[in-house]
Amino acid sequence: MAKQRICPSVTGEAADARIIGHVGAGGVVAAIPTPIPLTPAMRASLGPRPERMFRLAGTCSEERCANWQNASCGLIGRMRHLLDPGENTDADAAPATLARCGIRPDCRWWLQDGPAACRVCPRVVYNPSM
């Protein structure tokens, strides 16, 4: 059985949602290196749509997700194209340092796109209009 991967951008509706970042000024996510489980008490305190305030991660839904295309997540490719226009020139070059991240070994985006995914990751915020 394939290992379960982690989606780095889920909503608070995910049963196993955990906080991996805080949405700061300008919509840029500041990473929280040690994931914090979104407990029932926290959900009650935060109210609906905690993904507006925090970046949440949870089990990748794969084919049950609208972003799943060709056996992979189509979202990170679109985000890279949108947010990282230089992707074709240095996509494979690892930045000098990557931000600490508590889900990297199992992160769907990291496993697909490596450091290029981490470069745009802080600027991806769950669509609050959904």
Query: Which residues of the chain form contacts with ligand SF4 (CB under 6 A)?
Result: 8, 99, 101, 103-104, 107, 109-110, 117-118, 121
Nearer CB in complex with ligand SF4: 23/101: 101
Structure tokens at 34: 């040690």
The bridge status of strand 68-69 relative to strand 29-37 is unpaired
CB 112 within 8 A of CB 69: no
Structure tokens at 126: 């769950």
Nearer CB in complex with ligand SF4: 36/45: 36
Least distance CB 123 / ligand SF4 (angstroms): 10
Least distance CB 12 / ligand SF4 (angstroms): 17
Alpha-helical regions (H) of 40-121: 40-46, 75-83, 87-90, 108-113, 115-120
Least distance CB 14 / ligand SF4 (angstroms): 14
User: Coil, helix or strand for 93?
Assistant: coil
Nearer CB in complex with ligand SF4: 43/104: 104
Least distance CB 94 / ligand SF4 (angstroms): 12
The edge-to-edge listing of strands for the beta sheet with 6-10 is 6-10, 54-59, 18-23, 29-37
Nearer CB in complex with ligand SF4: 54/110: 110
